[in-house]
């Protein structure tokens, strides 16, 4: 399933890759506030393609559930239109599904565009990769986004949550299933290019982590690691900077952006209808840096 809102150009790119892969069904949930032209979908005549137009913006989870209802295969691929996908990743990721594995997600490589905020975002993704490796090494529960693959029978519907990928991973673990970080399978994405978009995006994600805790899950996240395990926090940061010394200068700007995002996320205390709040809208500039 592919989700797209006001990102017709991104959908055009990723759908081309998906149509080239051996999927049985491809559900596309899309909508626009009037800023994007999705008319190209009308010209695609592929019997596998299911088009779900969102006449009114209902939120990401509503779009996901509308797709899940129409998909019956063993594995479901969930992706947004703002990723850069290599069709070979589809086949590679399936190799990880054995025995009790229920969820697999790949390594996400951010497109490294110019700009201080963008570089700080790239550094954050590098830290995320190192931290996920640490979680796996400690037999914890990794969780990821951008693209996630899960077994159809894992859950019939997804409740009203902000971090749907995190919820899928935590649900699998709660059922005794395995979640795998396929670090050798790679996709790309675009990080926010200015401070406003960065803070909006990260506030949403951090709120989503808090929401998981409210639902009884205990995801391991860097946002709160400095308090729960300061030694692991420091180890993760140092390991990242050893790998990417060129990004060291962006460490302080990243800490400032993350602190502001953390404080802003605490403005949102209630859970009702969170997916149609302004802060839940995607802020990634799709289309930039695509090849």
In a domain, 105, yes or no: yes
3-state secondary structure of 243: helix
Token representation of residue 284: 């990634």
Residue-wise pLDDT for 25-43, tens only, equals 999 999 888 878 999 999 9
Instruction: Please give the residue that has the higher pLDDT: either 181 or 265.
Output: 181
In a domain, 221, yes or no: yes
Question: Which residues fall within 8 angstroms of residue 166, CB to CB, at 6 or more apart?
Answer: 143, 145, 208, 209, 212, 217, 219
pLDDT given for residue 269 in this prediction: 60
In a domain, 266, yes or no: yes
pLDDT exceeds 90 at position 234: yes
Residue at token pair 């953390």: 262
In a domain, 287, yes or no: no
In a domain, 93, yes or no: yes
In a domain, 92, yes or no: yes
In a domain, 291, yes or no: no
Residue 50, domain extent: 2-280
In a domain, 220, yes or no: yes
Helix residue ranges, H only, 87-163 = 88-94, 116-137
pTM of the model: 0.89
Residue-wise pLDDT for 142-168, tens only, equals 998 789 999 999 988 898 888 999 999
CATH code (residue 145): 3.90.550.10
Confidence of residue 289 (pLDDT cuts 50, 70, 90): very low
Number of domains in the chain: 1
């Amino acid at each position: 399933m592919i989700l797209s809102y006001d990102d017709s150009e991104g959908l055009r790119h990723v759908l081309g890759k998906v149509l080239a892969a051996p999927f049985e069904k491809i559900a596309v949930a899309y909508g626009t506030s009037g800023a994007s032209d999705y008319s190209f979908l009308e010209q695609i005549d592929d019997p596998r393609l299911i088009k779900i137009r969102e006449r009114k913006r209902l939120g990401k989870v509503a779009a996901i559930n509308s797709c899940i209802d129409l998909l019956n295969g063993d594995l479901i691929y969930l992706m947004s239109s703002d990723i850069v996908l290599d069709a070979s990743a589809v086949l590679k990721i399936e190799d990880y599904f054995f025995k009790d594995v229920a969820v697999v997600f790949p390594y996400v490589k951010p497109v490294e565009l110019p700009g201080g905020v963008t570089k700080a975002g790239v550094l954050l993704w590098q830290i995320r990769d190192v931290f996920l490796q640490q979680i796996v090494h400690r037999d914890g529960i990794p969780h990821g986004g951008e693209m996630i693959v899960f077994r159809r029978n894992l859950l019939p519907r997804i409740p009203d949550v902000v971090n749907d990928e995190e919820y899928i991973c935590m649900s699998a673990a709660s059922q005794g299933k395995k979640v795998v970080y396929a670090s050798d399978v790679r996709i790309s994405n675009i990080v926010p290019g200015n401070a406003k978009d960065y803070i909006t995006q990260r506030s949403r994600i951090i709120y989503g982590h808090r929401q998981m805790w409210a639902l009884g899950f205990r995801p391991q996240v860097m946002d709160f690691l400095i308090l729960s395990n300061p030694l692991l926090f420091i180890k993760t940061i140092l390991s990242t900077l050893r790998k990417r010394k060129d990004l060291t200068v962006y460490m302080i700007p990243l800490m400032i952006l993350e602190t502001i995002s953390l404080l802003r996320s605490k403005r949102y205390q209630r859970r009702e209808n969170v997916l149609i709040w302004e802060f839940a809208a995607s802020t990634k500039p799709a289309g930039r840096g695509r090849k």
